[in-house]
Structure 1
Amino acid sequence: MNSKISWWLGALGCLWLTACHKPRTRSTQSEVLVKTDSVKVTTADSVRVDSLANRAAEEGNKINIQVEEINYNYLLARSKFSFKSRTQNIDNANVNLRMKKDSIIWLSVTGAGFEVARGIITPDSIIFQDKFHKEYFVYDYQQLSRQFNFELSFPLLQSLILGNLPLPREPDQKIRREKDYLLLRQKEGRIMIDNYIGEKNRKLRRLQAVEQPSRNSLTLDYEDFKELSNYLFPYTSLITLDVQSPQDQQYYQTVIRIKHSKVELTDTPPGFPFTIPASYKRK
């Protein structure tokens, strides 16, 4: 993909999620007899008892709570964006963000006092303008999903910006305690996602997931929560991506930080101006 827009996609935190996978021990089913005073027990029986005990303990550790999520009509934000990869380093770019629920994500990047780029994301397509080079780029989600070997969608992008769960929670998905967090594990196709939720505020604090078989991954940490229209909103997001290069098969890391200085939820449409001049070339 053209390097001029690679950081745009990363800026939305839309790519990869990383999960810590613990190897599962396979039970031994050999029928070796163990003599006791009253009964004969096989190792298979022992494994079944241990499995049932572990399952009971796990079920007892599960709790049913409501994860706090942000509901809105329109969102406006002013933000600083930093991006570091093996080929690019962008520090504190100014980004204006506007969103319409389930419909539009609009963003404008300014530098040295003038707008250098603008983008609009809808459920159908992603379009970016490079105003400096007078070029524009058009993508659909199927194309990007193939290119990154990761299933992308508008609801996923929207949720990551808001700090909501990346996937809708199913009725049978339980939350269990794990160290200092409440853990909700979700699976969607090739993606395994671990959502770490704060026990006190019930907000998503960390998201880790992995895509198989590529193992392209992302870790997303939400920080600096502040009150916003009766919600808690994360004013800082730290995104770490580990993506395998198709050229040399090595994994390379990208680190993204988004820090909002002002965020507003409103019922008034802010406008989403976006036109492509006839003189711009499509890339």
Structure 2
Amino acid sequence: MVQSKISKYTIIVFLSFFIFSCKNKEKTAEHNKLKAPDKEIIKNYTNNTFNFNTVSGKAALTLTQNDKKNSFKITFRIKKDSVIWISITPLLGLEVARVMITPDSVFMIDRLHKTYYKNNIENINEILHIDISYNLLQNILLANPVSIEPENKKDKIYIRRNRKEQLYFVSNVKRRKYRKVINKDKDKFKETIETIWIYPDNFKMAKFEINDFEENKYFNAKYKEFQTIENQIFPKLIEYNIKNDKNYSLTVDYTKVNINSPVKVSFKIPSKYGQIK
């Protein structure tokens, strides 16, 4: 087996999983009075799911690491609850990497270094240092509802109105505690805070954030623009940020999206490629 460092293309693929022509409506007083009651916020957010059997298309990616930017194009194909398939190419050139993720496994081909990676999906944690599941990957790629679980069963989910940003705030801690921890007590706090910000006009995610203060890990997804695809709201521009021992930022711009078209998922590992252990 090849004992090789993970290439930047591998990082790009996994980051993209953590990992539309209509922009979000401009924030006006009429749309952003944040008057919806708590039950309506959760109901509208939960029911506002992008429905599909398959979704495929193209996107432009920009990876930023240590102030260095690399741009790529991807072709993606997703079969609901079954498989996520992505092919990565430079702006001009042949495929440099291919990935396939199923509910229990991850497969990666690095054509530049003639290597491949395969393992259980739980072991993505070894690369990205955050816990991830297939359903979470699928949801954050499509801006579908992500659930938040309180740290303690006796605790509850807190809903507040962020009037400064004109967003609904949903978290497993109170907003006052969230601000205090983020601004003052990061070193003392040893729990995980999960937070969702929701747009009041379409009840889609504006931001999703995981702060693991005990392990000093951070993940953030920002849904900056949306587009309408066959009368459904689909993300257009997303920014993902991961912080652990290193910091990464990945911007995804969906340039072409097809819903429920037949998709072919091809993944064959060349016999001469070495396995990344």
TM-score by length of structure 2 reads: 0.74
What is the CA deviation profile of residues 151-196 of structure 1, one whole-angstrom value per residue up to 9, with x for unaligned ones? 11100100110011233789x7564322211122248xx6421111
What is the CA deviation profile of residues 51-102 of structure 1, one whole-angstrom value per residue up to 9, with x for unaligned ones? xxxxxxxxx97343311221210001200011011296312x0100000001
* Whole-angstrom CA distance in 1 between matches of 2:127 and 2:95: 28
Aligned to 1:265: 259
Q: 1:181 is matched with which residue: 148, 152, 167?
A: 167
Q: Tell me how far 1:207 sits from its aligned partner.
A: 1.3
Aligned to 2:51: 71
Aligned to 2:268: 275
Runs of 4+ in 1 over 3 A off after TM superposition: 60-63, 146-149, 172-176
* Whole-angstrom CA distance in 2 between matches of 1:128 and 1:88: 23
Amino acid at match of 1:181: L
SS at match of 1:263: strand
Q: 1:173 to 1:192 in 2, by over 3 A?
A: same
Aligned to 2:178: none
Structure with higher RCO (Cα < 8 A, 6+ apart): 2
Aligned to 1:3: 7
Q: Which consecutive residues of structure 1, in runs of 5 or more, have no partner in the other structure? A: 15-59, 246-251
Aligned to 1:118: 98
* Whole-angstrom CA distance in 2 between matches of 1:168 and 1:101: 21
Verify the 8 A CA contact 1:11 1:83 in the aligned structure 2. Answer: no
* Number of residue equivalences: 226
Q: 2:77 is matched with which residue: 90, 94, 98?
A: 98
Amino acid at match of 1:182: Y
Q: 2:64 is matched with which residue: 63, 77, 84?
A: 84
Aligned to 1:38: none
What is the CA deviation profile of residues 225-263 of structure 1, one whole-angstrom value per residue up to 9, with x for unaligned ones? 1111221111100112221x2xxxxxx421110001111
* Whole-angstrom CA distance in 1 between matches of 2:18 and 2:104: 18
* Whole-angstrom CA distance in 2 between matches of 1:191 and 1:106: 30
SS at match of 1:64: helix
Aligned to 1:205: 206
**1 or 2, which has the higher strand percentage?**
1
Aligned to 1:221: 222
Q: Tell me how far 1:121 sits from its aligned partner.
A: 0.5
Aligned to 2:145: 165
Q: Which consecutive residues of structure 2, in runs of 5 or more, have no partner in the other structure? A: 20-35, 151-155, 174-190
Amino acid at match of 1:235: K
SS at match of 1:115: coil
* Whole-angstrom CA distance in 2 between matches of 1:140 and 1:2: 17
Q: 1:13 to 1:272 in 2, by over 3 A?
A: same
Identity of aligned residues (%): 23
* Alpha-carbon RMSD: 2.4
* Whole-angstrom CA distance in 1 between matches of 2:86 and 2:207: 24
* Whole-angstrom CA distance in 1 between matches of 2:59 and 2:239: 13
* Whole-angstrom CA distance in 2 between matches of 1:235 and 1:139: 31
Q: Tell me how far 1:275 sits from its aligned partner.
A: 0.8
Q: Which has the larger radius of gyration?
A: 1
Alignment of structure 1 residues 228-247 onto 2, 5 Å: 228-243=229-244, 245=245
TM-score by length of structure 1 reads: 0.72
SS at match of 1:6: helix
Amino acid at match of 2:120: D
SS at match of 1:95: strand
SS at match of 1:145: helix
* Whole-angstrom CA distance in 1 between matches of 2:232 and 2:149: 19
Verify the 8 A CA contact 2:209 2:220 in the aligned structure 1. Answer: yes
* Whole-angstrom CA distance in 2 between matches of 1:163 and 1:226: 12
Aligned to 1:47: none
